[in-house]
Amino acid sequence: MLGKDLLGLRRLGVEEITEILDTAAHFRAVSERRIKKVPTLRGRTVVTLFFENSTRTRMSFDLAAKRLSADTLGFSASTSSTKKGETLMDTARNIDAMKPDAIIIRHPCSGAPHMLARAFPWTVINAGDGINEHPSQALLDMLTMRDHLGDLAGRTVAIVGDVYHSRVARSNIFGLRKLGASVVLAGPGTMCRPELEQLGVRVRHRIDDVLEEADVVMMLRIQRERLEPGAMSTAREYSRFYGLDLARLRQARPGILVMHPGPINRGVELSPEVADGSQSVIMEQVTNGVAVRMALLYLLLGGDPLPAGADHAVA
Ligand code: NCD
């Protein structure tokens, strides 16, 4: 059973992760219909509160809430009173006074969602906090892997690139390890530091060292906005050592799944042929994102009961 909030995967159990993934698999059917809406969260209010840029995550949460018939309201820092100096707590107090049921927050400071979750009675979903966690992204990644590989226990997932600054990587590491998968990292020393081994993963430096053994390779964008000056040379050099192109993919384990949370920097971490190639499941990740977020809203906001094993149950 999930509690009031979803702040990360660090403290979630295997049962909870499995429940979310199973529920998401049910909700997928709704998005395949002509009328993509069920009445599950009618009359509930979901607010998206984004203090950092986002396309996919915000649209995905917004669509998920709308497909469950919730009322949605968007707040973006670039057009709001934050620009006039209002603090996060004051913004949250004002939203609280309008009686929301759930807030989905993205913020550059690690821990911002945790602060709101402690201070307010409504559900808080972390849509990315600094370099800490991005749990809904990792859940949609795990659902996509499960679709192709079945049980993830004993599988190996390679995460390549700017792991240190990646909340996507952190949430995946926590979640995948709980499901019994092993995680191996590769990236330049400034972005893939040895202390990451404390999270229970192996750290390598050459991408070729991890491709041979991995069932899945997850490529990450360089988080330029979070890098210290001088932490990276040129995009061209990065791409030569850590980019995934067709020649490298040929050295990988046959059938390896290629994933990326987006946004992709084409020609840097992924060549266009690989990003759009037959082993890429990047668009499936996006489709699964809506289903995972529907499942999260449903489980956290306590929608009508969902009988097990029946797609029509959500109608
Ligand atoms: C990621 C993020 O914001 O952490 N994007 C996403 O949510 N799909 C990864 C990134 O920005 O590189």
- In testing the pocket of ligand 1, which one of 55, 57, 283 has its CB within 8 Å of the most ligand atoms? 57
What is the distance in A from the centroid of ligand 1 to the CA of 195? Answer: 22
- In testing the pocket of ligand 1, which one of 129, 134, 136, 293 has its CB within 8 Å of the most ligand atoms? 134
Q: How many of the other CB atoms lie within 10 Å of CB of 24? A: 27
Residues in the chain: 315
Give the model confidence (pLDDT) of 5-27 as tens digits. 999 999 999 999 999 999 999 99
Amino acid identity of 182? S
Give the model confidence (pLDDT) of 124-148 as tens digits. 999 999 999 999 999 999 999 999 9
What's the pLDDT score for residue 227? Answer: 80
DSSP per-residue letters across 129-157:
ETTTB-HHHHHHHHHHHHHHHS--TT-EE
* Interatomic CA distance for residues 107 and 87, integer angstroms: 12
Tokens in use for 264?
């992709």
For residues 252-280, one letter each, b for 16 or more C-beta atoms within 10 angstroms of the residue's C-beta and e for the rest, the string is beeebbbbbbbebbeebbbbeebbeeeeb
Q: What predicted TM-score, i.e. pTM, was given to this entire model? A: 0.94
- Residue 123 β-bridge partners: 102
Among the atoms of ligand 1, which is closest to the Cα of residue 167? 4
Tokens in use for 70?
């919730």
Q: How many of the other CB atoms lie within 10 Å of CB of 229? A: 5
What's the pLDDT score for residue 226? Answer: 83
Decide: 137 in ligand 1 pocket, CB within 6 A: yes
- In testing the pocket of ligand 1, which one of 168, 171, 222, 224 has its CB within 8 Å of the most ligand atoms? 168
CA 118 to chain centre: 22
DSSP per-residue letters across 238-292:
HHHHH-B-HHHHHHSPTT-EEE--S---BTTTB-HHHHTSTTB-HHHHHHHHHHH
Contacts for 19 with CB less than 8 Å, ≥ 6 apart: 1, 2, 299
Are the C-beta atoms of 33 and 314 separated by less than 8 Å?
no
Give the model confidence (pLDDT) of 249-273 as tens digits. 999 999 999 999 999 999 999 999 9
* The pLDDT of residue 313 is above 60: no
46-50, 77-81, 181-185, 304-308: lowest mean pLDDT where? 304-308
Give the model confidence (pLDDT) of 268-301 as tens digits. 999 999 999 999 999 999 999 999 999 999 999 9
Among the atoms of ligand 1, which is closest to the Cα of residue 106? 3
* Interatomic CA distance for residues 167 and 172, integer angstroms: 8
* The pLDDT of residue 314 is above 60: no
* Interatomic CA distance for residues 16 and 3, integer angstroms: 10
What's the pLDDT score for residue 201? Answer: 98
Decide: 140 in ligand 1 pocket, CB within 6 A: no
Are the C-beta atoms of 6 and 286 separated by less than 8 Å?
no
Are the C-beta atoms of 154 and 188 separated by less than 8 Å?
no
The residue behind tokens 């509930």 is 44
Mean pLDDT of the chain: 93
Tokens in use for 107?
């913020």
